[in-house]
Amino acid sequence: MSAHALPSPDTFLSGETGHVAGVRRTLTRRLGDRLLDLRLRPALPRIDRMAAELGRRRVHVLAVYRPGTRELPAALRELRASRHDVRVAAGALGEPHPELADVTVASDLAGGKFQNLNELVAASPPQADWLLVVDDDVALPERFLDRFLALAEGFGFDLAQPAQTLMSHAAWRVTRRRAGALARATRFVEIGPVTAFSRRAADELVPFPDLRYGWGLDLHWAAVAAERGWRLGIVDATPARHESAPVGSSYAPEAAIAEAQRFLAGRPYLESGEAGATLAVHRRLPERA
């Protein structure tokens, strides 16, 4: 049996860094986020009514953090303020953060993102309706989880992510919030900064493959989802802010690309040119059952 040829990076890279910088671009985007927030406001009471009708869900949150994280304590407070039954398993790359000590189940983690997440899964196996993976550099809007789950379930998503603000560093354009959309059905949901898995998606996708960088993993998830008939979506009504200066440039992309080539060789994956597709734009709440 011959070895699989390594796929070309063009087939799995987004082709953009998504980094937001420069005075004019920054001001324009900040203003754009304000305008989109205003435009969203009239829909929020209806989303909240829908959220109040959703049964109480068990939500398992995984978060790996760097010692200096500024955003994670607030993001976890926001998640735990939800009406759902939220359990958090956090992992520290160094010493536990003082504000996170009660939820830190592993410290001195030294692997890559998905290797570390697997340590958390081993320490605290998810038994939940939803699994949420949250990076340490994301800020969540108020009432995030109640609204997000109501929309994700309302639109039947098995893999979902909140849209990212215009100010966010987002490598995949499709993940940025869109004017007038509450949510969009897509073919692709990214590996971060917040990824949500329904129980059936988590049953199949967790534990994660043994990957340090994880580039291309989301494109593989997209192919698995297409095979299984899962719906994927981005929730625009609950935009997450991923706006801190990116520090991910602390590693060489060559290693991440080489890992993705090895991982994707011989596995089905959605090519990056297809990842930006929007299958449906949901501008109204789903009809109630």
| Interface ranges with Mn ion (CB under 5 A) | 137
Min dist CB 2 to Mn ion, Å, is 38
Q: Which of 190, 170, 272 shows the shortest CA–CA distance to 233?
A: 190
Closer Cβ to Mn ion, 137 or 236, answer by number: 137
Min dist CB 242 to Mn ion, Å, is 6
Closer Cβ to Mn ion, 176 or 282, answer by number: 176
- For 102, the token pair is 């009660």
- Beta-carbon contacts of 106 under 8 Å, excluding residues fewer than 6 positions away, are 91, 92, 116, 119, 120, 123
Handedness of CA 66, 81, 231, 163 (dihedral sign): negative
- For 114, the token pair is 């998905």
User: Exposed (0-12), middle (13-18) or buried (19+): which is 167, by Cβ within 10 Å?
Assistant: buried
Closer Cβ to Mn ion, 33 or 137, answer by number: 137
Closer Cβ to Mn ion, 169 or 231, answer by number: 169
Spatial distance between the Cα atoms of 13 and 7, rounded to a whole number of angstroms:
11
Min dist CB 126 to Mn ion, Å, is 22
Q: Which of 121, 269, 272, 123 shows the shortest CA–CA distance to 208?
A: 121
Min dist CB 246 to Mn ion, Å, is 6
143: Cα separation from own chain's centroid:
17
Min dist CB 177 to Mn ion, Å, is 17
Report the residue closest to Mn ion, judged by CB: 137
Closer Cβ to Mn ion, 246 or 286, answer by number: 246
Min dist CB 139 to Mn ion, Å, is 11
Min dist CB 253 to Mn ion, Å, is 15
Closer Cβ to Mn ion, 66 or 267, answer by number: 66
Closer Cβ to Mn ion, 119 or 137, answer by number: 137
Q: Which of 184, 158, 154 shows the shortest CA–CA distance to 277?
A: 184
- As a three-state string, the secondary structure of 208-265 is CCCCCCCCCHHHHHHHHHHHHCCEEEEEEEEEEECCCCCCHHHCCHHHHHHHHHHHHC
